[in-house]
Amino acid sequence: MSDAETSLDGAIAARLKRTPDGLVAAIVQEHGTGDVLMLAWMDEEALHRTLTTGRATYWSRSRNEYWVKGATSGHHQHVKRVALDCDGDALLLTVEQTGAACHTGTHTCFTDELSLEGQ
């Protein structure tokens, strides 16, 4: 395959505003419920893999490697939609979630609600 067949579309890549280490935040939302499940990180290759396979693929900052959600846990994310925000610095993935989204075993990573003072 040529590079054009194995890399992210140039028009999409040009719109991405990356962190200094080349990453873009990926917010993951559950299709159907609208629950915000998690935040992960993607580079161009992870986004390309996600768009071409329909399987959520991220960059692990702690392990310095790509990971497909569910490859080891069985808690897969089948991507229904990917949207880029107006500034190009965040992605929104809408997924069908199988099993827990969080590595702790919970449905969502956002389980620790903080109190608002005065309310």
pLDDT in tens, 28-42: 999 999 999 999 999
DSSP code, position 55 = B
Task: Find the mean pLDDT for residues 55-79.
Answer: 92
Query: What residue segments make up the domains of the chain, in order of their start?
Result: 8-97
Q: What's residue 61's pLDDT?
A: 92
CATH 3.10.20.810 fits 8-97, yes or no: yes
**pLDDT tens, residue by residue, 76-110:** 999 999 999 999 899 999 999 999 999 899 999 99
Residue 14 burial (C-beta neighbours within 10 Å; 0-12, 13-18, 19+): exposed
